[in-house]
A and B are shown apart, each in its own frame.
Chain A
Amino acid sequence: MSTGEPPVVRLGHDLVRNFESLPREKAAEELATHIKKFWEPRMRHELLARIRRGDTDLHPLLVRAAEDLVDGDIDREEVREPSGG
């Protein structure tokens, strides 16, 4: 059902649902890696801006993953293999 969430929040929460069964740190790492690999910079910037503004609707795991995004470059090992899709 539609949540009416802004697109980056909806897409981020889709990722949360698929990674949240992992241990928290692993889930945050996977989530951040996925966003680095597939999200265009303005989407990442919008997510970070929402976090900085204190958007309370964001899932804590998404907020935790965003900390890794601030670190910048993607891990080369993560893009060594083709990712498709």
Chain B
Amino acid sequence: MTTSEKSGPIAPAETDYGTPRVAAADTARVTVDGREVEVPAGTSVLRAAAEAGIEIPKLCATDSLTAFGSCRLCLVEVEGAKGTPASCTTPCSDGMVVSTRTEQVQDLRRNVMELYLSDHPTDCDGCARGSCEMQKWARETGVAQVRYGLDGANHLHERTDESNPYFDYDPAACIVCSRCVRACSETQGTFALTVEGRGFDSRVSAGGTDFLHSECVSCGACVQACPTDALTERSVVQLGMPTRSVVTTCAYCGVGCSFKAEVQGSGADTRVVRMTPWKDGGANEGHSCVKGRFAYGYAGHEDRRLEPMVRASTDEEWRVVSWEEAIATVAEGFRRIQAEHGVGAVGGISSSRCTNEEVYVVQKMVRAAFGNNNVDTCARVCHSPTGYGLNHAFGTSAGTQDFRSVEQADVILLIGANPTDAHPVFGSRMKKRLRAGARIIVADPRRTDLVRSPHVEATHHLPVRPGTNVAFVNAMAHVIVSEGLLDEEFVRTRTEGADGYLEFIARPEHSPEATEDETGIPAGELRAAARLYAAGPNSAIYYGLGVTEHSQGSTMVMGMANLAMLTGNLGREGVGVNPLRGQNNVQGSCDMGSFPHELPGYRHVSRPEVRQVFESRWGVSIQPEPGLRIPNMFDAAIGGTFRGLYVQGEDIAQSDPNTQHVEAALRSMEMVVVQDLFLNETARFAHVFLPGTSFLEKDGTFTNAERRINRVRPVMPSRVGKDEWQVVCEVATAMGYPMSYASPAEIMDEIAATTPTFAGVSFARLDAEGSMQWPVTEAAPHGTPTMHVGKFVRGLGQLTPTVYVPTTERATRRFPLVLTTGRILSQYNVGAQTRRTPNSTWHPEDVLEIHPSDAELRGIRTGDVVELSSRVGATRLTALVSERMPAGVVYTTFHHPVTGANVVTTENSDWATNCPEYKVTAVQVTVATQASRARAGEAPEASATPVPAGAMARQRR
């Protein structure tokens, strides 16, 4: 029996306390209906009652939103006070005595409910939402009939808005409690919804248009907040209410949101009805984005392949085979290659979309069964410089804070990241902090939403030119040092290398004035930004792939670490250096020993005492030399010394740079094994396809960007008959190295036994604690939310002179523009998941954003098909003329294989880690000629009609 033939535990019921938790040292003791309860001072009577186990009827209140006091249902009587105050807006005071069910209060509630019901559909049996609070409170307040009748003026015939692919808005059921409007504002921070009109005419509106065409980002917070069935998931309308739920972790970005998977049925007949964010999730605290909440349908998409397949050559058709035959084919193929070409002729790539346990067994298979260190992971192409740079500076390959820390930040320095698109739930959290008064400096060539959007305005936007990050960060440090803004005590007591670094950074060549022409950042603006960052008092750096995916990605990470150390912004809440990881388990896949030079826990393979830990447990000798990185594997394949590759859950043919080079490498191999949900682009070059499991079927853990280890619990059994870790074990066993585990919990036990930072981690402890942030050790048994408190992991922080070395990829007369790539809200990575969901409604194709002056010079209009060419290749996209771009820079995404954005990206990479320089490619953009359209088999007039700018702009979301 596979472990996932049984599904995870039923999620406990969540209590809605009515108003948010109050953080206060002082307390108040109150009596509610005779029950005493002690709460933090400032807590509402509504919440205090809930904490005492007494539920007061409410409609406009919910504990994720600030009290509003509009529905008049939560009225109570307070001893010694006049009237019947709303309990949601009445704070507790010490000694207060509250009565929630007096006759007077019950009469008032009954009257209020009657008024609501007089303008609300009465077909409760036909209502999709089984949790409608109207029904519940009608019964609770004892409304037997509506004295006013239902024939008066009402809204019962208003048309349902079905424009959004994921949820409906039925205005007939809306009571205008404003919970959706406040969720959109307070929780999500988009301000797409409003209440239009006054009195009887008051209606919730998506800015005067329908939901699909509004500013709505489909995060679903409004749907979750709605107390009636006015806003309801389409899936609930179609399938009815779920019957059970399992708490698990999202499979998209590195925020790692916890969700309650709500389902019907059991076993193989399990059907997901909806995903609702888990209130106790440490990373998301009850919020979600359009991907995590709604875009799970790919797991059941018809494209998914559920059976193993083999073929002797890539010219042949796939042949469905048994698991036994597929695994034997893999084992025999790899062993034959090794016999003919040497032990080092094969290798494996682990996936950041797979669990820690699945990744761990892949690196173990490579090291123990393949007998080499040729294992790498997709972090190679995203955050490997983070590992290198932060290890060098602090001694740990991870971010320094938890997400909650941003609530204590006074100044946020955001570099090369676009969290409102790529890490939306954390982006909302950041916006909430900004609305509360924190200031933000955005260093990014593009004018992203955090530069300016509703209720957000960056204090400084530094439009750093792609490829010049190190010059920029050095200029920031130069200002701090030359103007005496550094934290001398911190530098003296917590760091080493200060003398050399301070002399280096004080040189005039690093001044903002000297670097202005190179970086494109006005010197005055940069000086002001540096002063603001230094002033803090709590300044936090958040960054993304706009830092790492450069030829000096690792240097830039060290440069940011320098900045934080210079100003003492480490070792407490509200500060730090924080990578926003791209995929859900990038952190975990790195932690698990996926790098070719390191065993789990970032320990170099050359260290005999580390090898000994694993050798004694695994019963094999481990090679003491580093293995090949992914780009090295490609080079070696073309060179003829690397012939076989096991690819777990990655689409290297689409995601890696210089597609022609990658494809040539894959074609050179004799055995390419793809373990995936779909026949992806890489599978075109594969000889064996091993069907994988979706996150809904997995049992294990993911580790998010804040080092939080979260449980991934199976919602349904594996649809392919095996768990992925089992398949890997069986391949290893077939190759002659017996490998087996009774369960993924046992794999985690082995990780904990061999990896010091995971020493205290087990499935049982995670189930008990909810989640834990590594290191989890004897000294920190519950985990470590904030790193480097009082002392760095490496002892003293390392200040390093960060010499700016311009990239060799420069704009030229032939390729005068610079292409930079990124991600969009509705799509994810290579799009394998999101393209197979209605998320493509918002982004059906990759578009090329171009500044108006660059567009005008080339005669390009929004909607035109343009040719994008670099020195290595060319592709075609639809143009979007956009003032978000600076002149000289163009931007696109790589979500769609048909576009093949990586056809134009080059082999340039970070000097230390070989992370590709995706963010800098010299390109030219021209209107596609009729000849080129004809070559592609298109009618010449196919793109003659420009797409309206508005429609194109919406595709960005």
Alpha-carbon distance between A76 and B810 when the two chains are bound, in angstroms: 39
Which residue of chain A has its CB nearest to the CB of B555? Answer: A18
Instruction: Out of B388, B604, B606, B809, name the residue touching A1 (CB < 8 Å).
Output: B809
Q: A1-B871, A40-B374 are in contact. Are A7 and B632 (CB under 8 A)?
A: yes
A51 within 8 A of B: no
Chain A residues with CB under 8 Å of B803's CB are 18, 21
B858 within 8 A of A: no
Mark each residue of chain B from 493 to 526: 1 if its CB lies under 8 Å from any CB of chain A, else 0: 0000000000000000000000000000000000
A54 within 8 A of B: no
Chain B residues within 8 Å of A, Cβ to Cβ: 344, 373-374, 384-392, 395-397, 551-552, 554-555, 590, 595-598, 601-604, 606-607, 625-629, 631-632, 635-636, 641, 794, 803, 805, 808-810, 812, 871-872, 906-907, 909, 911-915, 922
A59 within 8 A of B: no
Instruction: Out of A21, A34, A43, A82, name the residue touching B396 (CB < 8 Å).
Output: A82
B551, A85: Cβ atoms closer than 8 Å: no
A83 within 8 A of B: yes
A14, B551: Cβ atoms closer than 8 Å: yes
Can you list 7 A-B pairs, Cβ within 8 angstroms, ordered by A?
Answer: A2-B872, A10-B907, A34-B912, A73-B606, A83-B388, A83-B598, A85-B387
Alpha-carbon distance between A82 and B604 when the two chains are bound, in angstroms: 7
The 8 lowest CB-CB distance pairs between A and B, nearest first, are A84-B387, A85-B388, A82-B602, A84-B391, A79-B604, A84-B397, A85-B913, A7-B635
Give the size category of A's interface with B.
20 to 34
Mark each residue of chain A from 67 to 85: 1 if its CB lies under 8 Å from any CB of chain B, else 0: 0000001101001011111
**Residue from B373, B803, B871 whose CB has the most chain A CB atoms within 10 Å:** B803
Chain B residues with CB under 8 Å of A38's CB are 597, 626, 629, 912
A1, B596: Cβ atoms closer than 8 Å: no
B597, A11: Cβ atoms closer than 8 Å: no
Alpha-carbon distance between A38 and B910 when the two chains are bound, in angstroms: 13
B657 CB to nearest chain A CB (Å): 12
- Extra contacts, 10 of them, besides A1-B809, A11-B909, A83-B392 (Cβ < 8 A), are A2-B907, A7-B635, A11-B914, A18-B805, A38-B629, A39-B626, A82-B598, A82-B603, A83-B388, A84-B386
Which residue of chain A has its CB nearest to the CB of B601? Answer: A82
Chain B residues with CB under 8 Å of A85's CB are 384-389, 391, 397, 554, 595, 912-913, 915
B812, A84: Cβ atoms closer than 8 Å: no
A64 CB to nearest chain B CB (Å): 18
A15 within 8 A of B: yes
Alpha-carbon distance between A43 and B374 when the two chains are bound, in angstroms: 13
Alpha-carbon distance between A76 and B385 when the two chains are bound, in angstroms: 23
A2, B554: Cβ atoms closer than 8 Å: no
B810, A84: Cβ atoms closer than 8 Å: no
Q: A2-B872, A18-B552, A37-B604 are in contact. Are A81 and B632 (CB under 8 A)?
A: no
Alpha-carbon distance between A26 and B606 when the two chains are bound, in angstroms: 22
Chain B residues with CB under 8 Å of A34's CB are 912
B812, A1: Cβ atoms closer than 8 Å: yes
Tell me the chain A residues, 21-72 only, with Cβ under 8 Å from chain B. Answer: 21, 34, 37-43
Which residue of chain A has its CB nearest to the CB of B641? Answer: A42
Chain B residues with CB under 8 Å of A73's CB are 606
A1, B387: Cβ atoms closer than 8 Å: no
Which residue of chain B has its CB nearest to the CB of A8? Answer: B635
B395, A82: Cβ atoms closer than 8 Å: yes
Alpha-carbon distance between A1 and B590 when the two chains are bound, in angstroms: 31
Which residue of chain A has its CB nearest to the CB of B603? Answer: A82
Instruction: Out of B388, B551, B625, B906, name the residue touching A2 (CB < 8 Å).
Output: B906
Tell me the chain A residues, 1-20 only, with Cβ under 8 Å from chain B. Answer: 1-3, 7, 10-11, 14-15, 17-18
A16 CB to nearest chain B CB (Å): 9
Instruction: Out of B597, B602, B607, B909, name the residue touching A14 (CB < 8 Å).
Output: B909
Q: A1-B810, A84-B386 are in contact. Are A40 and B344 (CB under 8 A)?
A: yes
Chain A residues with CB under 8 Å of B909's CB are 11, 14
Which residue of chain A has its CB nearest to the CB of B906? Answer: A2
**Residue from B389, B808, B915 whose CB has the most chain A CB atoms within 10 Å:** B808
Alpha-carbon distance between A39 and B606 when the two chains are bound, in angstroms: 12
Alpha-carbon distance between A83 and B912 when the two chains are bound, in angstroms: 10
Alpha-carbon distance between A83 and B597 when the two chains are bound, in angstroms: 9
B944 CB to nearest chain A CB (Å): 36
**Residue from B551, B596, B604, B628 whose CB has the most chain A CB atoms within 10 Å:** B604
Chain A residues with CB under 8 Å of B641's CB are 42
A83, B635: Cβ atoms closer than 8 Å: no
Chain A residues with CB under 8 Å of B911's CB are 14-15, 17-18
A74, B554: Cβ atoms closer than 8 Å: no
Chain A residues with CB under 8 Å of B598's CB are 82-84
Chain B residues with CB under 8 Å of A21's CB are 803
Alpha-carbon distance between A15 and B914 when the two chains are bound, in angstroms: 11
**Residue from A11, A43, A85 whose CB has the most chain B CB atoms within 10 Å:** A85
B871, A82: Cβ atoms closer than 8 Å: no
Chain B residues with CB under 8 Å of A40's CB are 344, 373-374, 596, 625-628, 632
Alpha-carbon distance between A81 and B391 when the two chains are bound, in angstroms: 8
Instruction: Out of A7, A14, A37, A42, name the residue touching B344 (CB < 8 Å).
Output: A42
Chain B residues with CB under 8 Å of A7's CB are 631-632, 635
Alpha-carbon distance between A54 and B632 when the two chains are bound, in angstroms: 23
B398 CB to nearest chain A CB (Å): 9
Which residue of chain B has its CB nearest to the CB of A2? Answer: B871
Alpha-carbon distance between A43 and B915 when the two chains are bound, in angstroms: 18
B388, A81: Cβ atoms closer than 8 Å: no
B184 CB to nearest chain A CB (Å): 40
Alpha-carbon distance between A77 and B880 when the two chains are bound, in angstroms: 53
Chain B residues with CB under 8 Å of A15's CB are 911
Which residue of chain A has its CB nearest to the CB of B374? Answer: A40
Alpha-carbon distance between A17 and B808 when the two chains are bound, in angstroms: 10
Instruction: Out of A1, A43, A74, A84, name the residue touching B602 (CB < 8 Å).
Output: A84
B114 CB to nearest chain A CB (Å): 65
Alpha-carbon distance between A84 and B794 when the two chains are bound, in angstroms: 13
Alpha-carbon distance between A38 and B632 when the two chains are bound, in angstroms: 11
Chain A residues with CB under 8 Å of B603's CB are 82
Chain A residues with CB under 8 Å of B388's CB are 83-85
A60 CB to nearest chain B CB (Å): 18
Q: A1-B809, A1-B871, A40-B625 are in contact. Are A79 and B606 (CB under 8 A)?
A: yes
Alpha-carbon distance between A40 and B598 when the two chains are bound, in angstroms: 12
A1, B808: Cβ atoms closer than 8 Å: yes
Alpha-carbon distance between A39 and B374 when the two chains are bound, in angstroms: 11
Which residue of chain B has its CB nearest to the CB of A44? Answer: B625
Which residue of chain A has its CB nearest to the CB of B798? Answer: A81
Which residue of chain A has its CB nearest to the CB of B804? Answer: A21
Alpha-carbon distance between A81 and B803 when the two chains are bound, in angstroms: 23
Alpha-carbon distance between A7 and B395 when the two chains are bound, in angstroms: 30
Chain A residues with CB under 8 Å of B397's CB are 82, 84-85
B374 CB to nearest chain A CB (Å): 7
B588 CB to nearest chain A CB (Å): 14
Alpha-carbon distance between A74 and B392 when the two chains are bound, in angstroms: 18
Alpha-carbon distance between A80 and B348 when the two chains are bound, in angstroms: 26
Which residue of chain B has its CB nearest to the CB of A76? Answer: B607
Which residue of chain B has its CB nearest to the CB of A35? Answer: B626
Alpha-carbon distance between A41 and B625 when the two chains are bound, in angstroms: 7
Chain A residues with CB under 8 Å of B395's CB are 81-82
Which residue of chain A has its CB nearest to the CB of B627? Answer: A40
Q: A81-B794, A85-B385, A85-B912 are in contact. Are A37 and B597 (CB under 8 A)?
A: yes
Alpha-carbon distance between A79 and B609 when the two chains are bound, in angstroms: 12
**Residue from A14, A17, A37, A84 whose CB has the most chain B CB atoms within 10 Å:** A84
Chain A residues with CB under 8 Å of B627's CB are 40
B607, A79: Cβ atoms closer than 8 Å: yes
A83, B606: Cβ atoms closer than 8 Å: no
Which residue of chain B has its CB nearest to the CB of A43? Answer: B632
Chain A residues with CB under 8 Å of B922's CB are 1
A35 CB to nearest chain B CB (Å): 10
Which residue of chain B has its CB nearest to the CB of A11? Answer: B914
Alpha-carbon distance between A5 and B957 when the two chains are bound, in angstroms: 41
Which residue of chain A has its CB nearest to the CB of B909? Answer: A14
Alpha-carbon distance between A31 and B599 when the two chains are bound, in angstroms: 23
Which residue of chain B has its CB nearest to the CB of A83? Answer: B391
